[in-house]
C-alpha cells in the first residue's frame, strides 16, 4: 500500500549582500521528502543547511518514488532488530 507523501523544494539563503566581502548570497535549493506541512519541511531544511531565510518553491504529492516503501522497510528492520 502506498501512502501519500510530499516532496518539498525550498530556497535557502542569507539576506542581502555580505557587508564585509560585498558578495551576494545566492539561494541554495534544498529538497526534503515526507513532511506533512511547510513548517515541518522548513525545520528539516534548517537541519540540513542553516540559513536566515527559506522560501517554498514547490510542493507535490507523490506515490511513485518508493519513499514510503523504504520507510516501511526501515521500520520493519528496526522492529526485528529490537525483538
The gap from C-alpha 67 to its chain's centroid, in whole angstroms, comes to 13
CA distance 73 to 71: 5
Contacts by 17-23, CB closer than 8 A, 24 or more apart: none
> CA neighbours within 13 Å on the CB side: how many for 11?
9
Q: What is the mean pLDDT of residues 45-63?
A: 91
Of the given ranges (8-17, 50-59, 65-74), which has the lowest mean pLDDT?
Answer: 65-74
pLDDT given for residue 67 in this prediction = 65
Q: Which domain holds residue 43?
A: 5-82
Query: How many independent structural domains does the chain possess?
Result: 1
pLDDT given for residue 24 in this prediction = 65
Q: What is the mean pLDDT of residues 36-54?
A: 93
CA distance 34 to 23: 34
Q: Residue 46: which pLDDT band, with cuts at 50, 70 and 90?
A: very high
The answer on pLDDT for 70 being more than 80 is: no
Amino acid at each position: 500500500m502506498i501512502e501519500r507523501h510530499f516532496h518539498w523544494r525550498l530556497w535557502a539563503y542569507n539576506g542581502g549582500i555580505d557587508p564585509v566581502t560585498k558578495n551576494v548570497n545566492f539561494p541554495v535549493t534544498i529538497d526534503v521528502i515526507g513532511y506533512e506541512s511547510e513548517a515541518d519541511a522548513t525545520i528539516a531544511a534548517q537541519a540540513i543547511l542553516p540559513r536566515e531565510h527559506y522560501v517554498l518553491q514547490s510542493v507535490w504529492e507523490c506515490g511513485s518514488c518508493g519513499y514510503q516503501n523504504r520507510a516501511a522497510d526501515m521500520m520493519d528492520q528496526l522492529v526485528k532488530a529490537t525483538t
